[in-house]
Amino acid sequence: NAGVMQNPRHLVRRRGQEARLRCSPMKGHSHVYWYRQLPEEGLKFMVYLQKENIIDESGMPKERFSAEFPKEGPSILRIQQVVRGDSAAYFCASSPRTGWTANSGNTIYFGEGSWLTVV
């Protein structure tokens, strides 16, 4: 049972270029989350998507960042016109459903991350 797959693992971009990060959720999972982790910091929530829908993008910068999770294919986090401050590890996670109830938890599984370096 393959886990959450992210690619590329490492990506180097020059300032002003575009970065595309891909995430394939675990089999049977229809909910995808993106987090960003700056060096020596915790993970910060960016966006939560279901198939073809953005559910919560409250953590994503309003400009240059976008995310999608099409009906077919992986989820993509896109960063346009990258700047040095975008250098970070970007983690994707997936879960089979949303919400945790008193009767049933909901485990979110993370991928190994994509490390973006902007030079």
Q: Please, are residues 90 and 35 in contact by the beta-carbon 8 Å criterion?
A: yes
Choice between 81 and 100, CB closer to other proteins: 100
Note whether 52 binds other proteins by CB under 8 A: no
In the complex, minimum distance from the CB of residue 114 to other proteins, in angstroms, rounded to a whole number: 10
Placement of tokens 């109830």 in the chain? 101
Identify which of 24, 1, 26, 13 has the alpha carbon closest to the alpha carbon of residue 79: 13
What is the smallest separation between the CB atom of 116 and other proteins, expressed in angstroms?
Answer: 13
Contact letters for other proteins, residues 4-43 (x by CB under 8 A): x--------------------------x-x-x-----xxx
